[in-house]
Copies of this chain bind each other. A is one copy, B any other.
């Protein structure tokens, strides 16, 4: 599971982690602050942050004994690019199908338009 795309998708496949990302979009926060709203231990949240960090979605700096967590938004582009590519392709195909159906108002029961003579 080395590839970056898998890590990003996987990281965001968890609702708690998505919520953390949502809250970090507003502003940086410490681990304890982030952990407060959830009814899990702070260690669990620390694990979540590790996952987000390994996916490149988040970075932690050092500031006294606090470790402010910062959202790294660039990685989103990786996903967006992948998604857009295939969404567009599928839509294009959909549009083309419409054209075909319009151009073929009376398709016969047997449709050998795919004639691929050996």
Which residues of A does B touch, CB under 8 Å? 3, 5-6, 9-10, 12-15, 18, 21-22, 24-27, 71, 73, 76-77, 79-80, 82-87, 89-91, 93-94
Complex Cα spacing A80 to B12, Å: 13
Contacting residues, chain B, for A77 (C-beta < 8 A) = 87
Minimum Cβ distance to chain B for residue A32 (Å): 18
Of B9, B14, B84, the contact of A12 (CB 8 Å cutoff): B9
Minimum Cβ distance to chain B for residue A4 (Å): 11
Q: Given A3-B15, A6-B14, is A83 in contact with B94 using a C-beta cutoff of 8 Å?
A: no
Cβ contact within 8 Å between A6 and B10: no
Of B15, B24, B87, B89, the contact of A80 (CB 8 Å cutoff): B87
Cβ contact within 8 Å between A86 and B21: yes
Minimum Cβ distance to chain B for residue A34 (Å): 15
Of B12, B15, B82, B91, the contact of A18 (CB 8 Å cutoff): B82
Of B25, B86, B94, the contact of A93 (CB 8 Å cutoff): B25
Complex Cα spacing A24 to B86, Å: 9
